[in-house]
Structure 1
Amino acid sequence: MIMNKLVRYILSFASLYLTVSCNKGWLEEKRDIKLIVPTTLNDMNLLLNADVFQSDGRGATETSCDDYEFTPEQYNALYNAFDRDLVIWKTEEFPKFGILVWDEWDMAYSQIQVCNVVLNGLSKINRTSSNKEQYDKIKGTALYHRAKQFLNLALTFCNYYDDNTAETDLGIPLKLTEDIDEIVDRGSLKNTYERIVSDLKESTILLPSVSTLNTQIAKAGAYGLLARTYLYMDNYKQASSNADSSFKYHTYIENLNKVDLASDYPFNDVSKEIHIYSMQSKYSPNGITGRMSQSLIESYDTNDLRKHVFFKLQSDGKYTFKGSFTGQLFSGTSTGEILLIGAECRARLGDLDGALEKIKLLLQNRFKAGTTISMPAKNNHDVLSSILLERRKELVTRGLRWQDLKRLNRDVKFAQTLIRRIGENIYTLPPNDPRYIMRIPQYIINYNHIAQNSY
């Protein structure tokens, strides 16, 4: 109970740092955060196991991606105007909903603040032979969660990473201290990704090899997030290497032949395939209120069990989504994603046999037992195209499709114009449109005076 209050205190300070206008009265009245900072390893461990770390952002980008379709009635039934704007790619700022419903920015920096409090506290404790195991796990966990939220922010509010422009493209404010008065500029996208990589590399060394709880991170998850990061930097060699490291520590693959296909909750318990419990904390109920894209549904083979495990046929002949690994939309890394990263990177690096081996291992656990799984012809384009299609089918509703669209749009062979038809209204989003980068909440701009994304 005391620890829960401590979490709320620190998160409230993080929220104040992000949202309250800086004025003398507030500065005089605010409590000293140093008075409530944990000082023992046990306190820090409890702090990093708070429920808040099970929540993730990228709900807005999931709402905007091309995996959903709507009738006018379904569109109007979405929760609020902001959700409807996201569906039709109307450029709007994130609204401030209140303390109980955080937007992606507040939620990420609140978690980052807790991580910084813990890391600062650790710097004041001697690492000894008797405490080193707990000390390293706490530090590795804090670095993992901070990097995870930095990456989520970059995926939502920044341009796609490109080595040619990363030094001049705007990144996100890299908040690295617990000082709530410190104002941090956005800096470059290159610096943002360098920090993410640095934090995750260190966490892979510090974290334990296995974890007994699905709410706690271990080496496989840190390597997995590092592989995801490198993939989104187009660093295929490092992405492949870290995917292999992740798979070495966590090889479990969910065999869908052993799942109840007819169940509305096929994964009643959290799937053992995931590395850590992680869910999108705010999203439009697209897959329930609306329907899954017909083109997506038609991409599944008759014997592909994902069509039955992931989706539910409704009375109108369309499908809604039901197959999350966690009961809510899952956003973390999993064995399936790791195999797909390994396959894609091998294909891009010219190792077609290695790529097909990875994708076949995944599909053997996704198709009906006894099915002969056809592999594409061994040429780079066909193999890569097949892997990218499997990536979309496997990672549906994971909050990754938007970033995949951003990166694939840079290649004319895969670029596409998104089209959303709602009744008689047609909305389009061309490749590389500035609207692929979400606007930073205006209250953040007003307080911190950082640069807004331009359109």
Structure 2
Amino acid sequence: MKLNKLIYILTIPVLMAVSCKKFLDIKPKGVIIAESLGDFEGVLNSELIVNPFGQNNLIIYSTDDLNDASLNLQGQTSPKGNTYFWVEYINNSSVRPDYWADLYNTIANLNVVTEGVLSATDGTDQQKKQLYAEAMVAKTFNYFHLLSFFAPAYNKATANIDYGLPYVNTTDVSKDTPARLTLQAMYDQLINDIVAAIPDLPETNINNTRVTKGAAYGMLARIYMSMGDYVNAEKYADLILGSGKAKIVNYGAYTTGQLPATNSSPEELWVRYSYNMTFSYSNELLSKYDLNNDLRIRLLATKKNDGTYSYSNFQAYNPNRGITYAEIFLDKAECLARSGDINGALNIVNNTIRKNRFLAAQYTALTASTPEAALTAVLEERRRELAFKGLRWIDMKRLDREGRMPAVKRMSKDGTAVLTTLAPGSSAYTFQIPLMVQSFNVNMPLNKR
């Protein structure tokens, strides 16, 4: 069955044939026919597009930000438990791999836009080109997060032989499953898609879930940071910061529960929602905060009776896994530190981030006398600022590639026994292709584990 005019919408259920390949286990939530510009724009505004993770926060469960104090994951073989202990994501071929399927399902919906919007029955050529460009950039977000979970960290020396993932650019599920591209080809494709889209993107859009030039620059900065290409990462961070739109909220002006809503916060450059959840801080992460004075603890954390802290998103609307201005400022600071500009790096960390995260009487500036010390300071501030935002696993992988990640241990609840260890350079930094996907695509190469 060819799907070139079908759009999958959450609210309109439909029974739909799947291909003989059962391609990528994409199970559409619903379908309508799209013809007008408004139809295609409705897809870009739909919950399925702006909340591509569904109820999945698995990329947080894999990180060293988290401990098991309130999750009861020990002994579980659930996707959360398996991810937390870095074993096979789903070890049952009859269980739908939601993280994989939901992100690919969103790509399938965006493909409907890219295949059809240029032939929409109304609208100007520029309006059509803009929606096409928005859909192309939105797809790169999904592909990048799939790569972060199911492909190895980018390494220039091996990227031409390492496996990426299937790149799907059609809605025709009767076609064969695409082969896994090399990691180099995959990254090249995503970068080229974004760069080609930029001329047709607006400077501003109707809300912060829609793509702008700034959102595209932010995705390029995120991708280049993950590749260790800090020259290009800084280039695109500069394009955002030079716009004059980048803002950091002063937490001193707020109390718990009063931070700006995700859909209106000036800190959010581009929003990709995820579901609200509560997470327990790992002791290692917690040790990096000034627990008495850091407003990120006061506003975003709750101290429990057992002395542990839990993180909750107290903003109205669900948390953002997209691009924030804080991420971009920290990208810039890290690039400066890596190039030896100690003062420039610390100026951003201190005067842009930290002064807005402490009351004036409690603020202390970070100092460093060498580029390496400045880089350490920036990376630790990045941990504090971006905790539980969906970026730590991506950072862990690139830092492990550089030899900067220590072993990460999962401890028993009483803290007396090491249950498993994620060692430096471990193949467990790459999760295996889900079993259900393997069963539908028996010739798909698997990851080294």
Q: Same fold (TM over 0.5)?
A: yes
Shift of residue 318, structure 1, vs aligned partner: 1.1
Q: Which residue pairs with 1:107 in the alignment? A: 102
- 409 and 242 in structure 1: CA distance in 2 versus 1, 3 angstrom threshold: same
Which residue of 173, 186, 193 corresponds with 1:199? 193
Q: Which residue pairs with 2:64 in the alignment? A: 66
5+ residue gaps in structure 2?
none
Alignment of 1:203-222 (within 5 A): 203-222=197-216
Q: Measure the CA separation in 1 of the matches of 2:107 and 2:197.
A: 15
Is the CA contact 2:165–2:186 (under 8 Å) kept in the aligned structure 1? yes
Taking only the aligned residue pairs, the percentage that are identical comes to 26
Is the CA contact 1:85–1:91 (under 8 Å) kept in the aligned structure 2? yes
Is the CA contact 1:200–1:222 (under 8 Å) kept in the aligned structure 2? yes
Q: Measure the CA separation in 2 of the matches of 1:365 and 1:374.
A: 12
Q: Which residue pairs with 1:439 in the alignment? A: 432
Shift of residue 304, structure 1, vs aligned partner: 2.1
Alignment of 1:342-353 (within 5 A): 342-353=332-343
SS in 1 for 2:81: helix
Shift of residue 199, structure 1, vs aligned partner: 1.6
Shift of residue 36, structure 1, vs aligned partner: 5.4
Which one is further off, 363-372 or 344-353? Answer: 363-372
Is the CA contact 1:305–1:366 (under 8 Å) kept in the aligned structure 2? yes
Shift of residue 214, structure 1, vs aligned partner: 2.5
Is the CA contact 2:338–2:375 (under 8 Å) kept in the aligned structure 1? yes
Query: Aligned letter for 2:198?
Result: T
Q: Which residue pairs with 1:257 in the alignment? A: 252
Q: Which residue pairs with 2:365 in the alignment? A: 374
| CA displacement, residues 326-364 of structure 1 (integer Å, 9 cap, x when unaligned) | 644431110100000011111112232322222221222
Which residue of 166, 184, 194 corresponds with 1:190? 184
Q: Measure the CA separation in 1 of the matches of 2:44 and 2:408.
A: 40
Which residue of 397, 403, 408 corresponds with 1:406? 397
- 211 and 89 in structure 1: CA distance in 2 versus 1, 3 angstrom threshold: same
Is the CA contact 1:111–1:145 (under 8 Å) kept in the aligned structure 2? no
Q: Which residue pairs with 1:237 in the alignment? A: 231
Q: Measure the CA separation in 1 of the matches of 2:307 and 2:440.
A: 49
- 226 and 180 in structure 1: CA distance in 2 versus 1, 3 angstrom threshold: same
Q: Measure the CA separation in 1 of the matches of 2:315 and 2:153.
A: 28
Query: Aligned letter for 2:51?
Result: S
- Could you tell me the TM-score, scaled by structure 1's length? 0.85
| CA displacement, residues 103-134 of structure 1 (integer Å, 9 cap, x when unaligned) | 1211111111122121111343599xx71442
SS in 1 for 2:270: coil
Query: Aligned letter for 2:106?
Result: Q
Which residue of 103, 114, 118 corresponds with 1:119? 114
- 433 and 76 in structure 1: CA distance in 2 versus 1, 3 angstrom threshold: closer
Runs of 4+ with deviation above 6 angstroms: 9-15, 77-80, 96-99
- Could you tell me the TM-score, scaled by structure 2's length? 0.86
Query: Aligned letter for 1:68?
Result: L
- 91 and 77 in structure 1: CA distance in 2 versus 1, 3 angstrom threshold: closer
Which residue of 260, 277, 301 corresponds with 1:311? 301
- 365 and 15 in structure 1: CA distance in 2 versus 1, 3 angstrom threshold: farther
The yes-or-no answer on 1:55 pairing with 2:51 is yes
Alignment of 1:35-46 (within 5 A): 37-46=33-42
Please state which structure has a larger fraction of its residues in helix: 1
Q: Measure the CA separation in 2 of the matches of 1:299 and 1:15.
A: 52
Q: Measure the CA separation in 2 of the matches of 1:226 and 1:14.
A: 35
- 208 and 358 in structure 1: CA distance in 2 versus 1, 3 angstrom threshold: same
Alignment of 1:143-154 (within 5 A): 143-154=136-147
SS in 2 for 1:65: coil
| CA displacement, residues 228-281 of structure 1 (integer Å, 9 cap, x when unaligned) | 011111111110111111223431211111121x33x64456422112332235
Is the CA contact 1:410–1:432 (under 8 Å) kept in the aligned structure 2? yes
- 161 and 224 in structure 1: CA distance in 2 versus 1, 3 angstrom threshold: same
Q: Which residue pairs with 2:87 in the alignment? A: 90
Shift of residue 315, structure 1, vs aligned partner: 1.6
SS in 2 for 1:143: helix
Q: Which residue pairs with 1:167 in the alignment? A: 160
- 326 and 158 in structure 1: CA distance in 2 versus 1, 3 angstrom threshold: farther
| CA displacement, residues 34-71 of structure 1 (integer Å, 9 cap, x when unaligned) | x9542222211111211111224472221121112234
The yes-or-no answer on 1:415 pairing with 2:415 is no
Q: Which residue pairs with 1:25 in the alignment? A: none
> For the aligned residues, what is the CA RMSD?
3.3
